[in-house]
Structure 1
Amino acid sequence: MNLEALCAEVGLDFYDDELVNENGRKIYRVYVSKQGGVSLDDCAKLSEILSPILDIESPVSTEYSLEVSSTGLERKLSKLKHFEKSIGELVSISTISKEKFQGKLVSVKDGLLTLQNGEGKIELNFNDIKKAKTFVIWD
Structure 2
Amino acid sequence: MISLEIQEKIEQYVKSCGCELYGVELLRENNQEILRVSIYSPQGVSLDQCQEVSQLLSPFLDVEDPISSEYVLEVSSPGVERVLKNPRHFLLSLGEEIEVKMMDKSKIQGKLLSSDEDSFVICGANGEQKIAYSQTKKVKTIFQW
Normalised TM-score (structure 2):
0.79
Q: 1:35 to 1:116 in 2, by over 3 A?
A: closer
Structure 2 residue identity aligned to 1:56: V
Aligned partner of 2:38 among 22, 31, 34: 31
Give the match's secondary structure for 1:105: strand
Matches within 5 A, 1:58-69: 58-69=65-76
CA distance in 2, matches of 1:81, 1:61: 28
Identity %: 39
Per-residue CA deviations over 1:14-73 (Å, capped at 9, x if unaligned) read 121112222332211111123533222211111111112222333432222111112322
Larger relative helix fraction: 2
C-alpha contact (below 8 Å) 2:87/2:117 kept by paired residues:
no
Matches within 5 A, 1:55-134: 55-109=62-116, 111-134=118-141
Deviation of 1:135 (Å) = 0.9
Structure 2 residue identity aligned to 1:84: L
CA distance in 1, matches of 2:31, 2:98: 31
Gaps of 5+ in 2: 1-5
Normalised TM-score (structure 1):
0.82
Per-residue CA deviations over 1:55-97 (Å, capped at 9, x if unaligned) read 2333432222111112322122111121122122111223445
Deviation of 1:130 (Å) = 3.4
Matches within 5 A, 1:2-13: 2-13=9-20
CA distance in 2, matches of 1:59, 1:92: 35
Q: How many residues align?
A: 138
Q: 1:114 to 1:12 in 2, by over 3 A?
A: closer
